[in-house]
Amino acid sequence: MNYLVIGASSEAGQSALAALREHNPNAYIIATTSRENEIPGADRTIFQVDLAGDEAVEKITAAVSEDIDVMFYTPAFGPVGFPISESGGSDIGKALDFSFHPLVRLTETLNVKTTVAYSSFYWLPHISIAYGAMGAAKYAVEKLALDHPDRYRVIRSGTFVSKSTRGISLMIQRAVKSTEDGNLLDLVRRWKESGMKFQEYFFHYAHSVEREEFAPRFQDRPHRLTTRDDLRRQALAILQGDPQDAGDGPIRNVIGDWTWTDREMPPLPAADRAAIVAHV
């Protein structure tokens, strides 16, 4: 069987590679990277794939002649560092052009049987205040999976440490210096009271929000940070055809040891929903 991992050097990409090798030791894996380095664990690497450029999809499809059974699409990029509710059409367009439209084009052009995308708990306050236009991209991915569960799946993960989340925390730190947003101002107040460095406090805050929101569902298991291995377990469950998915929906949620599935869109705050649905 043939597999394609877009953005294979990321945390999600590495977790997908590990799941594929565990699921099928004889898998033929094609990986893409924006760099010039071979991806360990892949059988073939397509180099210098810049999804911000118009030619990225054409470059991938020209290099892939195999029938692709499963594609993991990990890239996520778009204007961030401000509340989702403040996202405009231009910003959302940039996020969709990188994080959503190539996923659909690759799936259709390569006739991929199953495409797995990645999302987050973007409606919770620790992400909603900072995710900007990326909230629209995640909404679009999830809606696609719910509309076409036979072809698209989503791994929705809790906050984990990565280059992306570190970058978002830095952009929030810059944004709070001039913000008038009440939620961001409240975050600033609590950060200063904590005595922590901002990046350290951001992850502390994110995990406290996750605990408050979902701990009542899992009283037998304490909250812990989400890791690359947690992402691997969710990818493996999809590859193995977890029966739970068929009953409950195409979105697999994971926060540490907490896992469950969804077949409905999340309860977005009204302001976030208005900004997103106007452009998605």
- Domain spans, the chain: 2-158+225-277
Do residues 38 and 107 make contact, with C-beta atoms less than 8 angstroms apart? no
Query: How much is the pLDDT for 243?
Result: 53
Query: How much is the pLDDT for 247?
Result: 55
Residues 63 and 71: their CA atoms lie apart, in Å, by 15
CA distances, 137 to each of 144, 192, 244, 251 (Å): 11, 32, 26, 15
Instruction: Go through the chain and tell me how many residues it has.
Output: 280
Kindly give, in sequence order, each residue whose CB lies less than 8 Å from that of residue 226, ignoring residues fewer than 6 positions away: 157, 158, 159, 160, 254, 255, 256
Which token pair is 1? 């069987």
Q: Which fold has domain 2-158+225-277?
A: Rossmann fold (3.40.50)
Identity (one letter) of the amino acid at 221? R
Query: How much is the pLDDT for 42?
Result: 97
Query: How much is the pLDDT for 242?
Result: 63
DSSP line for the chain:
-EEEEETTTSHHHHHHHHHHHHH-TT-EEEEE-SSSS--TT-SEEE----TTSTTHHHHHHHH--SPPSEEEE-------SB-GGG--HHHHHHHHHHHTHHHHHHHHHTT-SEEEEEEE-TTSHHHHTTBTTHHHHHHHHHHHHHH-TTTEEEEEE----SHHHHHHHHHHHHHTTT---HHHHHHHHHHHHHTS-HHHHHHHHHHHHHHHHHGGG-TTS------HHHHHHHHHHHHHT-HHHHHH-SEEEEETTEEEEESS-----HHHHHHHHTT-
Q: What is the largest CA-CA distance in the chain?
A: 57
pTM of the model as a whole: 0.93
Q: Mean pLDDT in each 10-residue stretch from start to end of the chain (280 residues)?
A: 96 97 96 94 96 91 97 93 92 96 97 97 90 95 97 95 76 75 83 90 91 95 95 96 66 97 94 94
Neighbours of 57 (CB within 10 A): 20
